[in-house]
Structure 1
Amino acid sequence: MKKRLAIALMMGGSLLIKAQIGINMSAPEAILHVDGQENTASAVPASYYDDVVVTSSGNMGAGTKSPKVRLDLRSGERVNAIGIGGTSQTASAAKAGAMRYNTGTQDLSYSNGTSWVTLAHKVTSDFVDAENSSAQSFTSGTQAAVTNWTKKTDVNGSFNSGTGVFIASKTGVYIVSFTFSLASGTIANDSRYETLIQTNSTSSTTNKVFKCVGSYPGTNSLSNRVAGNCSGIFNLNKGDNITVSLNQALGTAKTLDTDGSLTSLSIFGL
């Protein structure tokens, strides 16, 4: 009797090993086949998007019933992103081939068994193009930042149009060009103006300024339109900021021209 029971258990065990297991389905198409929403239709690829299968060769597929590699996430409806988390493990503890996401630098790295190696990647460069039709007023002899811009382009959302502050999204070389035009008015004798492009204006160590000067020497009896421009190239670290300012000493308060195309700002990261 004991011998017969042992034989029966062995036969049952062999049947279990060769059996296909289906969850939420009666006709599994792999060693293990899970139908998440119980909606799989045979020969209809689009119905496999919520399925998970393990094949007899040991491949696992999510969203596909025919995984071609050890782990295959290529589902027909393309919702097939893969999530990789961070870890505090050392590279040697995680072993060679492990991957992790670095929240601080927002990139991926892999373990070579000794150290974490950052994968090469390209961050979209900053590009800002803005105009100003705000008729902002500038007191004679006082430097003031140009504010209340109208953005035409801001690739990375790095420019605050209200305050006029640009913040670099990555470390690199930045080209800045600032053009302005004041409304027509009288100009004092022997007067001048300065346009300024300034980085990190509140820092005593990293603050840098490009200044461009325009002058009106001698006697100025006529009403004139004052305009100018300034350009600069900056090496910025991620998080550094840029502002543009005007310091006019033309004798009286002046306002920007209301034609926005005459006052413009462009910032381009290389």
Structure 2
Amino acid sequence: MKKRLAIALMIGAGLLIKAQVGINMSAPQAILHVDGQKNTAPAVPASYYDDVVVTSLGNMGVGTKSPKTRLDMRSDDRQNAIGIGGTAQTASAAKAGALRYNSGTQDLSYSNGTVWTALAHKAPNDFVDAENPSKQSFTSGTQTIVTNWTKKTDVNGSFNAATGIFVASKTGVYIVSFTFSLASGTIANDSRYETLIQTNSASSATNKVFKCVGSYPGTNGLSNRVAGNCSGIFNLTQGDNITVNLNQALGTSKTLDADATLTSLSIFGL
């Protein structure tokens, strides 16, 4: 009886050692083989794109049946992106070798066990180039945001052309240039205008305004064309807003020139 039990245990142990577990498949190719969509064809490598395997060496493959590293995601369909989130952990708590994503600076950093160190990267800078064909009207003596732009370029999709609001995609230095031209018309004596570039901080909700002024002193003619420009350099935090505004005090309401190229806006992040 004892001999029979010993033989049975030896046979069972041998079967256990060679056992392969398959989920959604009858012929697993590794110690553990999961076929996500139950569509694997052994002779078709591309069919492994939705499979997960664990080999006898302890390697895990996602999208491949022959992982060469502890974690191998090199699948034939090349949908191999890895999702890495942010964390509030200190580098020492996360331990050396940990990775995290920093939304503010849009980069990855790693822990050396003491501090988080940013990996070298180059995220695209914001760049906006727009013209204004709207013939927008401006009431005399009222500061108004310039809206309804037509975008020519917007690298990071950070400019809302309808509202005229730009939102900085990352922290940095930004150069802003705004040029406008009003349709010809009479202007009051001793009149003036202001072009304003205004920023709104996402962190402190305080505004900063850069103003440029044009004046028409003395007695003015019957019909005049008013045009001007304003440029400035700003230190912005991710999420800060920029708008360009016009405050004309020329005596009557004025509209932007019908020629869209005469009213332009460019915003460039360094």
Residues 92 and 114 in structure 2, CA contact (< 8 A), matched pair in contact too: yes
Alpha-carbon distance in structure 2 between the residues aligned to 1:93 and 1:244: 45
Distance 1:93 1:78 in 2: 33
Residue number in structure 1 paired with 2:251:
251
Q: In the TM superposition, what are the counterparts of 1:176-191 in structure 2 within 5 Å? A: 176-191=176-191
Paired residues of 2:49 and 2:76 also in contact (CA < 8 A): yes
What are the residue-to-residue correspondences of 1:58-69 with 2, within 5 Å?
58-69=58-69
Query: How many residues were matched structurally?
Result: 270
In the alignment, the residues of structure 1 paired with residue 42 and residue 203 of structure 2 have an alpha-carbon distance, to the nearest angstrom, of 67
Show the counterpart of 1:232: 232
TM-score (norm 2): 0.86
Q: 4+ residue stretches of structure 1 with deviation over 6 A?
A: 201-205
Q: Could you give the per-residue CA deviations for residues 210-252 of structure 1, whole angstroms, max 9, x where no partner exists?
A: 3223333443224121111111111112222222122223232
Once residues 64 and 184 of structure 1 are traced to their aligned partners in structure 2, the CA distance between those partners, rounded to angstroms, is 69
Structure 1 pair 204–140 and aligned structure 2 pair: CA distance change class (3 A): farther
Distance 1:132 1:88 in 2: 43
In structure 2, do the counterparts of structure 1 residues 37 and 236 end up closer, same or farther at CA, with 3 Å as the change threshold?
closer
What residue number does 1:2 align with? Answer: 2
Structure 1-normalised TM-score?
0.86
Q: Residue 130 of structure 2 aligns with which residue?
A: 130
1:57-79 residue CA offsets vs partner (Å, 9 max, x unmatched): 22111111111111111111122
Aligned to 1:143: 143
- 1:34/1:254 Cα in 2 relative to 1: closer, same or farther (>3 Å)? closer
Moved more, 63-72 or 229-238: 229-238
Q: CA RMSD in A?
A: 2.8
- Deviation track 1:128-167 (CA, whole Å, cap 9, x = no partner) reads 2222222222233333222232333333332233332222
Cα distance in 1 between the residues matched to 2:134 and 2:58: 66
Match of 1:212 in 2: 212
Q: Does 1:25 align with 2:35?
A: no
Provide structure 2 residue ranges, at least 5 long, that are not aligned to the other structure: none
Structure 2 equivalent of residue 112 of structure 1:
112
Query: In 2, distance between residues paired with 1:227 and 1:261?
Result: 12
Structure 1: gaps (5+ residues) = none
Distance 2:44 2:160 in 1: 50
The sequence identity of aligned pairs, in percent, is: 85
Alpha-carbon distance in 2 for matches of 1:102, 1:202: 17
Distance 2:194 2:258 in 1: 20
Give, in whole Å, the separation in 2 of the partners of 1:128 and 1:79.
Answer: 31
